[in-house]
């Protein structure tokens, strides 16, 4: 039970299971793994795919010979294990060149270098089969708004996205972009801080149909927001191209915990949303094992992410077929049809009829909803006593 299948599309970033456990207070605790070792570990835990930043695979200062050797060995590991590369992205945050951001940096040379680096990274991702290209603007922000005009920052972000969309079209690549919002960390404040901001921004681009979002559990939760509602908005707009699953205590630093490790109930509603609406892209885990783990425990972390998703998916099926829960939902959503003449598209007749209709306001106010009962049943189901 709870064995992952390829159609579940469980993926991990190379930077997740390969994370060496450096933090602002401490040095690495785990030795760096090669790309080949990471692919082998992911195959062992049952992942379908691996995603990478350009420099997860190829160090920023690699010689052409080193690059070719790494690519060859990586390809062999993919072929040997059957692990695929559905998504790729650019590291625009580690190198000191990006200390003031990339596409929104004040230095035009940095902005141009960021475009060049991204074009190369897109080529690399496409070479290994990526169909989704993620943009996470980790350093696209400020600590003080004294030095950067936030309107200019939006315009610079748009110019970069338009340029890179044209590049993809020009190359004839079958590639879509997914924009990932985060409120802060590593910058004090990051532009386009939520998935909702990104959705609005996308509609201002030259090729909005090529661009969707990559929401991440921890990022909305860091800001104290309801992640499932943000994902719902993206999904309803046809913009949920990818998703980053992990967990996070709201209000804390960026924790990147194992999916389902903290907020079981909100993870359940997220899985329910994805499953009820037939989400069909990668289920990507962008999480890190505890710094106290060694690699045997990192594997437990990766298996735990997958298992928690599959267990919650089973709970969703149970919720959807629980007769008491479904009866309550039917009662909650009861509709006797008497209002159907007033809903849907506007017409002058409808508006006139609605104006004439008498409502028993006091009766409306007397009706309660059994949400306590429904929530308790949900909690009991999640606690395994139903």
Smallest gap, in angstroms, from Cβ of residue 284 to ligand GCO? 8
Q: Which of 54, 56, 244, 256 is catalytic?
A: 56
- In the complex with ligand GCO, the residue whose CB is nearer, 25 or 346, is 25
Is 149 one of the catalytic residues? no
Is 53 one of the catalytic residues? yes
Q: How many residues bind ligand GCO (CB under 6 A)?
A: 10
Region of 137-145, 158-166, 168-176, 240-248 interacting with Mn ion (CB under 5 A):
240-248
Contact call for residue 180 and ligand GCO (CB under 6 A): yes
Q: Which of 53, 219, 230, 242 is catalytic?
A: 53
Residue with tokens 């141009």: 112
176 interacts with, out of Mn ion, ligand GCO, none, CB within 5 to 8 A per kind? none
| Sequence-ordered list of residues with C-beta below 8 angstroms from that of 339, at least 6 positions apart, any chain | none
Contact call for residue 136 and ligand GCO (CB under 6 A): yes
Which residue from 20, 34, 57, 15 is spatially nearest to 244, judged by alpha carbons? Answer: 15
If you write DSSP's letter for every residue of 238-307 in order, what string do you get?
T-B--EEE-B--TTSS---BPTTSS-HHHHHHHHHHHHHTT--S-EEE-----TT--HHHHHHHHHHHHH
Strands 141-142 and 189-190: antiparallel
Question: Which one among 216, 228, 282, 304 touches Mn ion, defined by CB under 5 A?
Answer: 216
Q: How many residues bind Mn ion (CB under 5 A)?
A: 3
Question: Which one among 56, 140, 247, 286 touches Mn ion, defined by CB under 5 A?
Answer: 286
Helical (H) or strand (E) element with 150: helix 150-171
Contact call for residue 182 and ligand GCO (CB under 6 A): yes
Smallest gap, in angstroms, from Cβ of residue 123 to ligand GCO? 17
- In the complex with ligand GCO, the residue whose CB is nearer, 89 or 267, is 89
- In the complex with ligand GCO, the residue whose CB is nearer, 288 or 315, is 288
- In the complex with ligand GCO, the residue whose CB is nearer, 102 or 325, is 102
Smallest gap, in angstroms, from Cβ of residue 216 to ligand GCO? 5
Smallest gap, in angstroms, from Cβ of residue 247 to ligand GCO? 13
Largest Cα separation within the chain, whole Å, is: 80
Q: Which residue is nearest to ligand GCO (CB)?
A: 136
Q: Token pair for residue 317?
A: 């099926």
Q: How far is CA 310 from CA 44, 225, 252, 315, 335, in A?
A: 17, 24, 27, 9, 34
| Sequence-ordered list of residues with C-beta below 8 angstroms from that of 259, at least 6 positions apart, any chain | 217, 245, 246, 247, 267, 285, 287, 304, 305, 308, 309
Please give the backbone phi and psi of residue 190, each rounded to the nearest 5 degrees, phi first: -110, 140
Length of the chain: 386
Which residue from 116, 47, 106 is spatially nearest to 259, judged by alpha carbons? Answer: 47
Stretch 198-257 residues interacting with ligand GCO (CB under 6 A): 216, 244, 254
Residue with tokens 């007749």: 349
311 interacts with, out of Mn ion, ligand GCO, none, CB within 5 to 8 A per kind? none
89 interacts with, out of ligand GCO, Mn ion, none, CB within 5 to 8 A per kind? ligand GCO
140 interacts with, out of Mn ion, ligand GCO, none, CB within 5 to 8 A per kind? none
Q: How far is CA 226 from the centre of its chain?
A: 14
- Helix 295-321 and helix 371-382, axial crossing angle in degrees, nearest 10: 140
- In the complex with ligand GCO, the residue whose CB is nearer, 134 or 235, is 134
- In the complex with ligand GCO, the residue whose CB is nearer, 89 or 194, is 89
- By three-state DSSP, how is residue 87 classified? strand
Residues that bind Mn ion (CB under 5 A): 216, 244, 286
Footprint on this chain of ligand GCO (rule: CB under 6 A): 89, 134, 136, 138, 180, 182, 216, 244, 254, 286
Q: Which residues are catalytic?
A: 53, 56
């Amino acid at each position: 039970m709870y064995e992952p299948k390829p159609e579940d599309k469980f993926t991990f970033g190379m930077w997740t299971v390969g994370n060496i456990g450096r933090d602002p207070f401490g040095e690495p605790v785990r030795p760096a793994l090669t790309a080949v070792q990471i692919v082998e570990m992911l195959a062992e835990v049952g992942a379908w795919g691996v995603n990478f930043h350009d420099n997860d695979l190829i160090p920023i200062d690699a010689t052409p010979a080193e690059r070719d050797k790494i690519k060859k060995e990586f390809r062999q590991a993919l072929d040997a294990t059957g692990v695929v590369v559905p998504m790729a992205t650019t590291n625009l945050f580690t190198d000191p060149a990006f200390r003031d951001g990339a596409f929104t940096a004040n230095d035009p040379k940095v902005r141009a270098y960021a475009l060049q680096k991204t074009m190369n990274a897109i080529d690399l991702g496409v070479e290994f089969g990526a169909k989704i290209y993620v943009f996470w603007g980790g350093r696209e922000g400020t600590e003080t708004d004294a030095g950067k005009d936030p309107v200019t920052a939006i315009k610079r972000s748009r110019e970069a996205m338009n340029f890179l969309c044209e590049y993809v079209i020009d190359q004839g690549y079958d590639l879509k972009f997914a924009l990932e919002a985060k409120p802060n960390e590593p910058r004090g404040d990051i532009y386009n801080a939520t998935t909702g901001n990104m959705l609005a921004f996308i509609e201002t681009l030259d090729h909005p149909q090529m661009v969707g979002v990559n929401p991440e559990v921890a990022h909305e939760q860091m800001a104290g927001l309801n992640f499932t509602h943000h994902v719902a908005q993206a999904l309803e707009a046809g913009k949920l191209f990818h998703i980053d699953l992990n967990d996070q205590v709201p209000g804390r630093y960026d924790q990147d915990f194992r999916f389902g490790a903290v907020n079981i109930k909100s993870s359940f509603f997220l899985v329910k949303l994805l499953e009820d609406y037939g989400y069909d892209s990668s289920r990507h885990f962008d999480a890190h094992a505890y710094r106290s783990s060694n690699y045997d425990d990192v594997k437990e972390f990766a298996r735990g992410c997958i298992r928690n998703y599959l267990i919650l998916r089973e709970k969703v099926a149970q919720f959807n077929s629980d007769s008491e829960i479904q009866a309550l939902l039917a009662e909650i959503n009861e509709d006797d049809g008497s209002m159907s003449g007033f809903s849907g598209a506007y017409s002058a007749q409808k508006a006139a009829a609605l104006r004439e209709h008498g409502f028993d306001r006091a009766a409306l106010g007397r009706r309660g909803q059994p949400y306590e009962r429904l929530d308790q049943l949900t909690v009991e189901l999640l606690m395994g006593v139903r």
